[in-house]
Amino acid sequence: MTSSTQHQHSILVAMDLSSVGRCSALVVVPVLALSGSSVAFLPTAYLSTHTGGFGQVHRSDLSQDMAGSLAHWKRLGLRFDAVYIGYVAHHSQLDMLEDALPDLLAPGARLYVDPVMGDMGRRYAYCKEELVTGFRRLCARAHTIFPNRTEAALLLGQPLVEGQEPAPPDAGQLLSLGAAQVVLTGVTQGSDRIGVLAASQGQPSHATFRRRYPASYPGTGDLLASTVIAGLSLGLDLGQACETACDMLDASLRHTQRYDTPTRFGLAYERALPALARDFARLSRLPDQP
């Protein structure tokens, strides 16, 4: 080892793998890798496509594979600088991940949680109260969480009206969930602007908005959260990371408008990756050479 040797940031991503539709791990892993992190992946479920617009989906619950992988990693003593938890197939997987965190998190490591439970005032079919309770526990332990407005209402125990987005909670309500930082997604400004509200313990809240596009695409939340996490891993503050993520999302949406691909196939985020790499290098002074 030479005096110039550096530690490479490592992150474990625990979420589903949806093979078609550009969401979940297919979006998250490339963005995190672009930041220079070493990315490990623990799939919670396999889906032939995401569940929006492709008809009957083939899916497999990977709980047994998760248990076997976690046991193997414990024997190896593998630890990560960050763990990012997203979609789980059911609450028992959350319990499994929560139990494994002491073995997975290196000293000073960060836990990131995207509590995937619902949208537009509606719980997803698999979201039972045990899942809400499990995500509540994990969010209280997390460094940063990424609920949308429906998920924030569920975490806060507020009632839902199906088809109607709940009013966004204020920063104090969000931080009462226990996380050091909260990024609330899907916050609107008038009819033509959409973005995020970022709140940190002991700091002023920060709202970021960009143009609102008429279509709704799968994977936008995954793209936003992974870009924020990538920015934080490079030393950006939460406001910088959110601005960068909203720029990435806006660029991906603009590229997507140029193609005739149906919305169910997600965002053409690939076209925006080179600009994101330049943003990361500029903001973090990430070296261009290994």
Q: Is residue 52 part of a domain?
A: yes
Rounded distance between C-alpha atoms, residue 284 and residue 237, angstroms: 10
Q: Is residue 290 part of a domain?
A: no
Q: pLDDT band at residue 3, thresholds of 50, 70 and 90? A: low
The yes-or-no verdict on residue 1 having pLDDT over 80 is no
Rounded distance between C-alpha atoms, residue 193 and residue 88, angstroms: 30
Q: Is residue 3 part of a domain?
A: no
The yes-or-no verdict on residue 285 having pLDDT over 90 is no
Q: Is residue 286 part of a domain?
A: no
Q: Which helix (H) or strand (E) holds 84?
A: strand 80-85
**Of residues 240, 282, 274, the one with CA closest to residue 255:** 274
Mean pLDDT of 242-247: 98
- So what's the pLDDT on residue 289? 40
- So what's the pLDDT on residue 2? 55
Mean pLDDT of 53-66: 97
Half-sphere exposure of 85 (CA within 13 A, CB side): 31
Amino acid at 186: G
Tally of domains in the chain: 1
DSSP symbols for 234-248: TT--HHHHHHHHHHH
Are 139 and 177 a contacting pair, CB within 8 Å? yes
The yes-or-no verdict on residue 85 having pLDDT over 90 is yes
Q: Tell me: the pLDDT tens digits for 189-235?
A: 999 999 999 999 999 999 999 999 989 999 999 999 999 999 999 99
Could you tell me the two tokens for 163? Answer: 């088809």
Q: Tell me: the pLDDT tens digits for 107-151?
A: 999 999 999 999 999 999 999 999 999 999 999 999 999 999 999
**Residue 85 belongs to what domain range?**
10-278
- What distance, in Å, lies between the first and last C-alpha atoms of the chain? 15
Q: Tell me: the pLDDT tens digits for 157-190?
A: 999 998 889 999 998 899 999 999 999 999 999 9
- So what's the pLDDT on residue 162? 83
- So what's the pLDDT on residue 284? 82
- So what's the pLDDT on residue 290? 41
Rounded distance between C-alpha atoms, residue 244 and residue 259, angstroms: 24
Q: Is residue 163 part of a domain?
A: yes
- So what's the pLDDT on residue 163? 82
The yes-or-no verdict on residue 286 having pLDDT over 60 is no
Q: Can you say whether the dihedral through the CA atoms of 193, 246, 228, 30 is positive or negative?
A: positive
Q: Is residue 96 part of a domain?
A: yes
Q: What is the CATH number of the domain that holds 57?
A: 3.40.1190.20
Q: Is residue 224 part of a domain?
A: yes
Q: Is residue 148 part of a domain?
A: yes
